[in-house]
């Protein structure tokens, strides 16, 4: 199943810089591993914000929930999830 996921990060201003850097480094490693597995298919930065728009390809809602709740930045995120379905007018067969 494909999901459009919009994530906005809101780190507390009083979070120590060293702690924030550690969380961000763990987040990057986790995200890149999911990309290598093909579960996090696309990620785009939203210009001017600490935010991204991503496409996940997972088996079901539960798997997506497990992945998102496992993000090191999860406690500091606002997340919006939209399930995606193939459009009947789409011409590409390899993007379902």
Mean pLDDT on 38-57:
98
Q: Note every long-range contact of 55-59, with CB atoms under 8 Å and residues 24 or more positions apart, other chains counting.
A: 55/2, 55/3, 55/4, 55/5, 55/84, 56/2, 56/3, 56/5, 57/1, 57/2, 58/1, 58/3, 59/1
Mean pLDDT on 59-68:
97
Mean pLDDT, all residues of the chain: 95
Structure tokens at 92: 């590409």
Per-residue model confidence (pLDDT) at position 26: 98
Mean pLDDT on 13-28:
97
Structure tokens at 67: 């992945």
Per-residue model confidence (pLDDT) at position 86: 86
What fold is seen in the domain 2-84? Alpha-Beta Plaits (3.30.70)
pTM (predicted TM-score): 0.91
């Amino acid at each position: 199943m494909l999901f459009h996921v919009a994530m906005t990060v809101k780190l507390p201003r009083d979070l120590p810089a060293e702690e924030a850097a550690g969380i961000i480094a763990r987040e990057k490693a986790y995200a890149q591993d999911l990309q290598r597995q093909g579960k996090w298919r696309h990620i785009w930065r939203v210009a001017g914000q600490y935010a991204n728009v991503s496409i996940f390809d997972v088996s079901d809602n539960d798997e997506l929930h497990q992945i998102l709740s496992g993000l090191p930045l999860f406690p500091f995120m606002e997340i919006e999830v939209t399930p995606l379905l193939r459009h009947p007018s789409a011409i590409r067969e390899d993007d379902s």
